[in-house]
Amino acid sequence: MLVELADQQTLANLAPDVSRLRAATDRLGLLGCYAFVTPPDDGRTGARTVARMFAPSIGVPEDIANANSTACAAAYLSARGRSRLRVDMGDALGRPATMTAITTSPAGIPIVEVGGTATICAARSTPSRR
């Protein structure tokens, strides 16, 4: 579910009831709710915005970075002429991440390429086999 918001403060203040959100998304057959702020109208130069992804139906109260939903938002926004998008996520969890999306529309069908960067904060050790 894509939820477009007008400003960053509204996004920052979100505190969804995880049980109710899970019930609603399960009822609708959705994995979660991707809330994002309408990016500034700066043409095709690469709008920057912020988002948060809540997916309690798959055991993720809030995701640090979500490529699938960023791609959906990019395809949606491409209809308004935004072909490049940079989305900051994870700040509310103290794990900032940035997703990038480029949308092209050959034959009128949006094709979205998504990428991002990640910083490894800690390595998990793997038990050695004897």
Q: Which of 72, 6, 8, 7 is nearest to 34 (CA)?
A: 72
Eight-state DSSP code of residue 90:
-
Eight-state DSSP code of residue 128:
P
Q: Is the pLDDT of residue 80 over 80?
A: yes
Domain ranges for the chain, please list them: 2-117
Phi-psi region of 108 (alpha: psi -120 to 50; beta: other; left: phi over 0): left
Share of the chain above pLDDT 70, in %: 87
**47 vs 6, more confident:** 6
- pLDDT classification of 128: cutoffs 50, 70, 90: low
The structure's pTM equals 0.84
User: 2-117: which CATH topology?
Assistant: Diaminopimelate Epimerase; Chain A, domain 1 (3.10.310)
Q: Is the pLDDT of residue 44 over 60?
A: no
